[in-house]
């Protein structure tokens, strides 16, 4: 039997780093820590080596198509497939950032939404039967969808929405932000939260597609890791990175034949409708 393999994006620090550490403990296969900055990635590998873990490293910038293709070719040639994909890489402007909202909307979605989609487009063809995909979404997606106008909410929550329609909505949000009319068009003023609305909705669509795929038992879920002590939260989150990694790792290791969660939004290992979820500290 071929060696199983797991990939975690953006895992040189924060929650992704802890997901790699947890998978090294529990997953029977090779675990890839990936980072856009090779030096930071290798330093992270070294510190995990010092703890007695042996993850492997591959460079990956999710906004760089050539970098994504290199990882894809490497996985195909070395492993012939992929068993776990954790889309953890993400970015957020700080609340105090002076960057104009239009820039924040474009740049944040370039990584969090379009980068994640590009990774999925390249790597989903490699997923083997029983593969597990986890997207790091956020409680922010829950707040943001509820702040959208009823018309915009209805579009995002349409159970038959396609990826093309979702991407068109994300582009509409970005364009509206550039025109200074996103609020008038029914979108809230948070670039990060809207990028995570995209991820939560994407998950439902992808599961619909994967359930109809000839490869059996492939599951994708999104999750909220909770409010975690990382650079992204300016270390304000009370959860440790290992606590934040708990639900993503649980989803990455769902046993064969799992029926639920599948295509769901999960927090603290429980399934919620992402638009109804309330985070409790
Ligand atoms: P960090 O900022 O600590 O880590 C983010 C990671 O993503 C870093 O490794 C960063 O690399 C990487 N990254 C950013 N852009 C890219 C890119 N283009 N290509 C590859 N890697 C990239 O964040 P967290 O650990 O807090 O967040 C992890 C995930 O969890 C994110 O998706 C976030 O949105 C989500 N989340 C976090 C919460 C929290 O409270 N912390 C709450 C809810 C969701 P580099 O070091 O090079 O910048």
- Provide mean pLDDT across the span 129-142: 98
What pLDDT is stored for residue 40 in this prediction? 98
What pLDDT is stored for residue 187 in this prediction? 98
8-63 pLDDT, tens digit per residue, is 999 999 999 999 999 999 999 999 999 999 999 999 999 999 999 999 999 999 99
At residue 195, does pLDDT exceed 90? yes
Cα(163) to centroid(ligand 1), Å: 23
At residue 132, does pLDDT exceed 80? yes
Cα(263) to centroid(ligand 1), Å: 22
- Provide mean pLDDT across the span 110-124: 99
Cα(155) to centroid(ligand 1), Å: 28
How far apart are the C-alpha atoms of 82 and 41, rounded to whole Å? 20
Q: Which of 192, 250, 272, 277 is catalytic?
A: 192
- Provide mean pLDDT across the span 65-79: 98
Q: What are phi and psi of 135, to 5 degrees?
A: -105, 135
Bridge-partner residues for 7, per DSSP? 32, 85
Ligand 1: atom nearest CA of 111 is 18
**Atom 4 of ligand 1: nearest residue by CA position:** 14
Q: What percent of the chain has pLDDT over 70?
A: 100
239-252 pLDDT, tens digit per residue, is 999 999 999 999 99
How far apart are the C-alpha atoms of 49 and 186, rounded to whole Å? 49
What pLDDT is stored for residue 161 in this prediction? 98
Give whole-number Cα distances, 181 to 102, 176, 186, in Å: 10, 5, 9
**Atom 10 of ligand 1: nearest residue by CA position:** 10
How far apart are the C-alpha atoms of 86 and 134, rounded to whole Å? 5
**Atom 27 of ligand 1: nearest residue by CA position:** 15
How far apart are the C-alpha atoms of 31 and 34, rounded to whole Å? 10
Q: What percent of the chain has pLDDT over 90?
A: 99
Q: Which residues line ligand 1 (CB under 6 A)?
A: 9-10, 12-16, 35-37, 40, 60-63, 88-91, 111, 115, 136, 138, 224-225, 227-228, 230-233, 237
196-227 pLDDT, tens digit per residue, is 999 999 999 999 999 999 999 999 999 999 99
What pLDDT is stored for residue 281 in this prediction? 79
**Considering the chain, what is the average pLDDT of its residues?**
98
Q: What is the pTM of this model?
A: 0.99
At residue 109, does pLDDT exceed 80? yes
Look up residue 134 and give its DSSP letter: E
What pLDDT is stored for residue 35 in this prediction? 99
Residues 6 or more apart in contact with residue 168 via CB below 8 angstroms: none
At residue 1, does pLDDT exceed 70? no
How far apart are the C-alpha atoms of 120 and 114, rounded to whole Å? 10
Q: Is 93 a catalytic residue?
A: no
Q: Pick from 90, 117, 82, 279: which is nearest to 205 by CA?
A: 117
How far apart are the C-alpha atoms of 19 and 16, rounded to whole Å? 5
- Provide mean pLDDT across the span 266-276: 98
**β-bridge pairing 56-59 and 82-87:** unpaired
**Residue 11: HSE in the Cβ half-sphere, 13 Å Cα cutoff:** 34
- Provide mean pLDDT across the span 182-187: 98
């Amino acid at each position: 039997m071929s060696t199983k393999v797991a990939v975690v994006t953006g895992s040189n620090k924060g929650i992704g780093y802890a997901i790699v550490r947890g998978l090294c403990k529990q997953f029977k296969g090779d675990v890839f820590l990936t980072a856009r900055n090779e030096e930071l990635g290798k330093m992270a590998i070294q510190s995990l080596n010092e703890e007695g873990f042996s993850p492997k490293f591959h460079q990956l910038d999710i906004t760089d198509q050539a970098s994504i293709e290199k990882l894809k070719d490497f996985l195909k040639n070395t492993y012939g497939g992929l068993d776990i994909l954790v889309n953890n890489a993400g970015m957020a402007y700080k609340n105090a950032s002076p960057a104009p909202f239009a820039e924040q909307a474009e740049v944040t979605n370039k990584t969090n939404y379009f980068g994640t989609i590009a990774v999925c487009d390249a790597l989903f063809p490699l997923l083997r039967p029983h593969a597990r995909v986890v997207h790091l979404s956020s409680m922010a997606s829950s707040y943001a969808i509820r702040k959208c106008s009823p018309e915009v909410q209805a579009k995002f929550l349409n159970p038959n929405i396609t990826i093309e329609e979702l991407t068109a909505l994300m582009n509409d949000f970005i364009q509206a932000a550039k025109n200074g009319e996103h609020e008038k068009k029914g979108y809230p003023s948070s670039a990060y939260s809207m990028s995570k609305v995209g991820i939560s909705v994407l998950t439902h669509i992808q599961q619909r597609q994967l359930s109809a795929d000839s490869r059996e038992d492939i599951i994708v879920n999104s999750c909220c890791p909770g409010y975690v002590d990382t650079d992204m939260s300016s270390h304000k989150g009370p959860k440790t990175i290992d606590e934040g990694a708990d639900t993503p790792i649980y989803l990455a290791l769902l046993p064969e034949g799992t029926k639920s969660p599948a295509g769901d939004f999960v927090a603290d290992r429980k399934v919620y409708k992402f638009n109804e979820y309330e985070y409790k500290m």
